[in-house]
Amino acid sequence: MNDFLTSLSQSWLGSAYAVAWGFPLLETLHFIGLCILFGGLLIIDARILGFARQLPMKPAMSFTSMAVAGFAIAATSGIFMFCSDPLRYVANPVFLAKITLILLAGLNALWFWFGAHGRLASLADGETAASNAKTIAWASLALWTGVIVLGRLIPYVE
C-alpha cells in the first residue's frame, strides 16, 4: 500500500500540487466547490425542512444540479490535494473521519435520490415534506457540516 501511495505522490497528479501556484489554486477550487455544494444543499434542505416553505419545491429541487457540480469541483481538487502527499493523509485520523462522512453523505444522497426525490418534486407549493425526507435533509446538513469542519482541522492534526 505504501508503495502505491508513494508512486501516487510522484505521479503527475501529485506533482500538480507542487507547482508554485498549485496549492492556492487547488485550495481555492476546493473551497469554491464546497460553497457551491453546501449552498445548493442548504436551499433544498431548508425547503424540505419547512424553513423556506414559501419557496416552491420544484425550483428548490433544481439546485440539485448545482450541488452535484459543487461536489465535482470539490472532489476533483480534493483528489489532487490527496495525491500531493497521500502517506500523510492516510495517517491522519481527521482526514479518515472526513472521508467516512463523505461516504455517508453519498449514501444519504442515494437515499434522497431513490427514496424521496420523486415525491418531493411533485409537492404542491407550501406543502410539507414527508418525515423520511426531513430525516434525509437533517442528515445532509449534519454530514456536510461535519465534512467542512473536519476538512479545516486536517492541517492541525498530524
What are 80's three cell numbers?
489532487
Cα gap 157→110, rounded to integer Å: 31
Domain enclosing residue 48, as ranges: 2-156
Cα gap 77→72, rounded to integer Å: 9
Cα gap 111→34, rounded to integer Å: 21
What are 153's three cell numbers?
482541522
Pair 136, 116: CB distance under 8 Å: yes
Could you report the per-residue pLDDT of 35-64, keeping only the tens digit for each?
999 999 999 999 999 998 888 888 899 999
Report the domain count for the chain.
1
What is the pTM for the complete model shown?
0.89
Could you report the per-residue pLDDT of 81-123, keeping only the tens digit for each?
898 888 899 999 999 999 999 999 999 999 998 988 888 878 8
Could you report the per-residue pLDDT of 65-82, keeping only the tens digit for each?
999 999 999 999 999 889
Please give the C-alpha separations between residue 74 and each of 71, 91, 105, in angstroms, as whole numbers: 5, 21, 14
The 3-class SS string of 57-124 reads: HHHHHCCHHHHHHHHHHHHHHHHHHHHHCHHHHHCCHHHHHHHHHHHHHHHHHHHHHHHHHHHHHCCC
